[in-house]
Structure 1
């Protein structure tokens, strides 16, 4: 029995499954709509797709560095509840994704989903669908980052994956692979996890952000009763405080707060007889910026039990 694009669309609307999955279901069912629905249900695809509309703001962040090649990767995968984030199957899935990012270097999320999943003979997207069906919650691969092997990369995870940090250090040849450098990188990661800097250094702060901050500081200073000429000088001093709070290299180092991060790194490099600079960093915090589900999950389970 033949089927049309409209049939595919109708099946998608009824089941919530993906367009290609609906097409496969109709093909396998010779165009029989009811059989196609059953096909999707048997595969768990319809149920998985319906879960995709539910809020997923829990989950975990995983960061790691490949011991063989030195590539660093960090991923965030979200689930509906923190309970699922503690599931070993879920955690392995997240770690496997980081390994795929390291090895395959996908350009974006769609490219990552198209990658082959290790030892499964399936794509990441197909395995993700299966995880949703078996675990029973909406699971979303939210974001990832990858640092190449040209830098000495250090990864750090805080509170079991609530926060992840990846730092790229540029080091002189005589310090590459140095354990003390890795320890320094770990300290910098902890700094980033705790202090959440928004920028690497002053040059990386967008000009419009600096100007906006100066406008706010100018208004505050004038409201304090200072003449405009005097206020200009005061703002020039106060903007430095903004940089010290928001730029990683200018922040007071948490382990020795009488020195800045950049001065601490420089001192450590001098002590080791080489050069070290922080080239880049990324900090992921689980669920940041996502709407949290406001319903009581325990009450939801209790309500389901009464049905």
Structure 2
């Protein structure tokens, strides 16, 4: 068995929201595997599914740019929110997003592309900006969507300025319908995606590994009831149907009008647009998602500075 340290227990407690003793037991039961321990806690009904993914600590900005039937999101991180409010940094984020439109949308391609303001690559331009601004920064993630006919709607939440903010969303709508209608319903769906963070457009598009993980947890939870396997299987299938309804965009209750699903809202929009509307893709970048920022002990820093 792995040695379960106090630091491990503390980390699991922060990620899961469970009590210290429960966290210690979970780590012991899973031989110190943090992910498995979270699943163990969830199976016991002690931790929620989204707790560990909700901690977003990195600073910086999400930038968005559009051109024709294409749109892109980029995440550029900085060390502090103070720098994220700096005009020079904000201009860099906007500039990188614009450059990204002429690439395949991957971080590698964007980094290698020429940044017009400097004539150098984006990667080298960021390095120069680090020296000028005096703080580390990096292009961390990107996403691009494109349609041949239709629109790619965009939405920036917690906007810090034109085309930049803390959360960015793209929604690709394939349609030959009225562009104004498509843009309107597209923006509403993008706002919905910002609020609900669906895992996929349709149930069948949900990552199989994610679905298998949920099924395993539901099976464990159902077995706690002591019911026969045949009953357990029906319970699990019911919970999986609900899971897919909750995480697939089209089956979710539309936040703009909860009486409709997103699919139903799009059907209503088709009447006004004069043509069928198909969601071909979604992208959602939340600043710092999946990044843990080290917490500093300010008192200790002051004491260390005082010692010279």
TM interval, shorter chain, is 0.7 to 0.9
Which residue pairs with 2:168 in the alignment? 164
Q: Secondary structure at the match of 2:242?
A: helix
Q: How far off is 1:300 after superposition? A: 6.0
- Gaps of at least 5 residues in structure 1 are 1-55
- Aligned partner of 1:117 in structure 2 is 115
Distance 2:217 2:258 in 1: 27
C-alpha distance in 1, partners of 2:128/2:196? 38
- Contact 1:196–1:283 (CA<8 Å) still a contact in 2? yes
Pairing 1:165-244 to 2, within 5 Å after superposition: 165-171=169-175, 173-175=176-178, 178-244=179-245
Q: Equivalent residue for 1:142?
A: 140
Distance of 1:300 and 1:131 partners within structure 2: 27
Tell me, what secondary structure is at the counterpart of 2:73?
strand
Whether the 8 Å CA contact 2:147–2:174 is kept in 1: the answer is no
SS in 1 for 2:59: coil
Matched positions, count: 246
Please state how far the C-alpha of 1:296 moved relative to its aligned partner.
5.8
Contact 2:203 2:245 (C-alpha < 8 Å) held by counterparts:
no
Larger Rg: 1
| CA gap 1:302/1:285 in 2 versus in 1, 3 angstroms | farther
Distance 1:278 1:298, change over 3 A: farther
CA distance in 1, matches of 2:157, 2:300: 30
Compare the two structures and name the one with the higher helix fraction.
1
Q: Which moved more, 1:125-134 or 1:292-301?
A: 292-301
Corresponding position of 1:126: 124
C-alpha root-mean-square deviation of aligned residues, in Å? 2.5
Structure 2 alignment gaps of length 5 or more: 1-56, 160-164
The more displaced of 126-135 and 115-124 is: 115-124
Between the aligned partners of 2:133 and 2:303, the Cα distance in structure 1 is 19
Equivalent pair of 1:57/1:293 in contact (CA under 8 Å): no
1-structure distance, mates of 2:91, 2:294: 25
Deviation at 1:221, TM superposition (A): 2.2
- In 2, Cα distance between equivalents of 1:108 and 1:212: 28
Name the SS of the counterpart of 1:287 in structure 2.
Answer: coil
Who is 2:278 aligned against? 277
Structure 1 pair 189/303, CA: closer, same or farther in 2 (3 Å)? farther
Distance 1:107 1:274 in 2: 29
Map of 1:70 onto structure 2: 69
- 2:87 counterpart of 1:84: no
Aligned residue for 1:252, secondary structure, equals coil
Q: Distance in 2 between matches of 1:96 and 1:297?
A: 35
